[in-house]
Amino acid sequence: MQTGDYPQALQLLDQVLRQLPEEPVTLTTRGHALKTAGATDEAIDSYQRATLANPRHGEAWYALANLKTYKFNTQQLAEMAELVVDGSLPPADRIHLYFALGKGYEDSTDYARSFQCYAQGNGLKKAQSRYSAQSMSEELAAQRAICTPQWRAEQGEGGCSAADPIFIVGLPRAGSTLLEQILSSHSQVDGTLELPNILALAQRLRRGKKLDGHSYYPAVLQTLNKQQRIEFGEQFIADTQIHRSGAPFFIDKMPNNFRHIGLIKSILPNAKIIDARRAPLDCCFSGFKQLFAEGQEFTYDLANVGRYYRDYVELMAHWQQVYPGEILHVQYEEVVHDIETQVRRILDYCGLPFEQNCIDFHTNRRAVRTASSEQVRQPLNRAGLDQWQHYSQWLEPLYSALGEPLLPSEIATKLTEH
């Protein structure tokens, strides 16, 4: 599954199920493979079999909810509601069930119970996390302090000259999968996945050679010479080759790479970078109600996700100053309202000729490995706009964390009066 060989993965999973019939973890994993490969009906069947084989296996219930297109019936909601209060249920299963119930109640327009479930699931996740919003703010501020326009000018030449990579960055749930689906529908572009390579390189530089607990990153970027930057860039191209299918360009859509644009442009100066952005309240609340596998711990708290969005906007404004004209900002709402204009704009930025397939992205049968996989297999619609409004009475911590400049005028006015 990790290398994208889903036919072989499914053969192996079916071999396991012949030895262990109706084993719920295997059925759920099989469902994930089928979902990613675009076999939605078969994925649903596999997930449902897992819930029947072991109703306490929370991941299977959440996998159904995470399809975004599946709706639980009344009986299923009642069964999950009974399970989630079982004191003997392991925490991981309880968390999955809370998020599944949140989606189920949302679909049935019971927004009060939906929010309560999302909040309880996030509360349990936050209790397991050591995330510090202050530390994250300081980390992003360090990028602004180190990677300045003067620093870039002093670097001069260096880095790998390859123009293959197209990085799609931003916050999760901001429309990055949609942009990836649009671009990967082009004959000259390979879609891959959220590649970990840049994050791994940043972590390697952070540790340095002394392994003494001190963080050398991003300050170490000031010390990298021309040859080191060439080698790091060439290594990235070599290590990501396994995910490519032969097209001249490929996409890396790891959202968190927005933190490391200075590193990316140092080692791959000709790489394209697309900032996928979505309206603050829709983006933040969508992150809050999404149970991510890993790496997005800021989403477990409304105040934290609002602060993270604010820090992200500030850092992206800084990168635009350091690399003027080199980063393309694409607003999700503008894609929804006028897809052809935005597609042509994206292709022009990437130096690619227009292809109608990019407009008809939903017909692309490629594997999609994110929570938006089913959504990007449908024609573009406005269902994702302003969903936060159903929950507006419970979002004051988010409003306060975002601050007035990032809020709709009516919310900003109420916040000021309060």
E strands present in 70-229: 165-170, 189-190
Query: For residue 244, is pLDDT > 80?
Result: yes
- Binned at pLDDT 50, 70 and 90, residue 197 comes out as very high
Host H or E run for residue 252: strand 249-252
Any bridge partners for residue 192, and if so which? none
In whole angstroms, how far apart are CA 74 and each of 79, 87, 89, 98, 184?
9, 23, 22, 16, 39
Q: How high does pLDDT run on average in the chain?
A: 92
pLDDT score recorded for residue 209: 64
Helix (H, G, I), strand (E, B), or coil: what is residue 167?
strand
Query: For residue 378, is pLDDT > 80?
Result: no
Whether residue 353 lies inside any domain: the answer is yes
For residue 188, the 8-state DSSP code is T
Domain edge (last residue) among 106, 128, 150: 128
Query: For residue 418, is pLDDT > 90?
Result: no
Whether residue 412 lies inside any domain: the answer is no
pLDDT score recorded for residue 208: 73
Lowest model confidence (mean pLDDT) among 110-114, 190-194, 316-320: 190-194
User: What sign results for the dihedral spanned by CA atoms 116, 118, 121, 123?
Assistant: negative
Alpha helices, DSSP H, located in 108-147: 111-128, 133-146
Q: What's the CATH number where 190 sits?
A: 3.40.50.300
* Bridging pattern class, strands 272-277 and 249-252: unpaired
Give the number of domains in the chain: 3
User: Stretch 163-186: mean pLDDT, rounded?
Assistant: 95
188 and 262 share one domain: yes
Peptide bond into 397 cis (omega under 30): no
- Binned at pLDDT 50, 70 and 90, residue 322 comes out as very high
- Binned at pLDDT 50, 70 and 90, residue 363 comes out as confident
Query: For residue 213, is pLDDT > 90?
Result: no
170 and 108 share one domain: no
Whether residue 416 lies inside any domain: the answer is no
User: Stretch 282-311: mean pLDDT, rounded?
Assistant: 95
pLDDT score recorded for residue 374: 52
Phi–psi pair at 249, nearest 5 degrees: -125, 155
pLDDT score recorded for residue 375: 55
Query: For residue 369, is pLDDT > 80?
Result: no
Query: For residue 276, is pLDDT > 60?
Result: yes
Query: For residue 35, is pLDDT > 60?
Result: yes
218 and 87 share one domain: no
CB neighbourhood size of 211 (10 A): 7
Domain edge (last residue) among 108, 128, 148: 128
User: Stretch 303-308: mean pLDDT, rounded?
Assistant: 98
Percent of all residues in the chain with a pLDDT value above 90, rounded to a whole number: 83
252 and 349 share one domain: yes
- Report the predicted TM-score, pTM, of the whole model to 2 decimal places: 0.91
Contact 142, 218 (CB under 8 A): yes
Whether residue 407 lies inside any domain: the answer is no
Q: What's the CATH number where 36 sits?
A: 1.25.40.10
Residue 358 CA to residue 184 CA, distance in Å, equals: 8
Contact 125, 304 (CB under 8 A): no
86 and 40 share one domain: no
Whether residue 191 lies inside any domain: the answer is yes
Residue 323 CA to residue 145 CA, distance in Å, equals: 15
Lowest model confidence (mean pLDDT) among 84-93, 291-300, 408-417: 408-417
Structure tokens at 186: 């082009």
pLDDT score recorded for residue 410: 85
pLDDT score recorded for residue 4: 79
284 and 193 share one domain: yes
For residue 100, the 8-state DSSP code is H
Whether residue 411 lies inside any domain: the answer is no
DSSP 40-88: HHHHHHHHHHHHHH-TT-HHHHHHHHHTSS----HHHHHHHHHHHT-TT
27 and 95 share one domain: no
Query: For residue 98, is pLDDT > 70?
Result: yes
Domain of residue 138, residue span: 133-402
For the chain, report the end-to-end CA distance as a whole number of angstroms: 51
Phi-psi bin for 274: left (phi > 0), alpha (psi -120 to 50), beta?
beta
pLDDT score recorded for residue 115: 98
250 and 198 share one domain: yes
Whether residue 345 lies inside any domain: the answer is yes
User: Stretch 137-164: mean pLDDT, rounded?
Assistant: 95
289 and 264 share one domain: yes
113 and 255 share one domain: no
162 and 109 share one domain: no
Whether residue 410 lies inside any domain: the answer is no
Phi-psi bin for 158: left (phi > 0), alpha (psi -120 to 50), beta?
left
pLDDT score recorded for residue 365: 60
pLDDT tens string 255-268: 999 999 999 999 99
110 and 34 share one domain: no
Contact 98, 85 (CB under 8 A): no
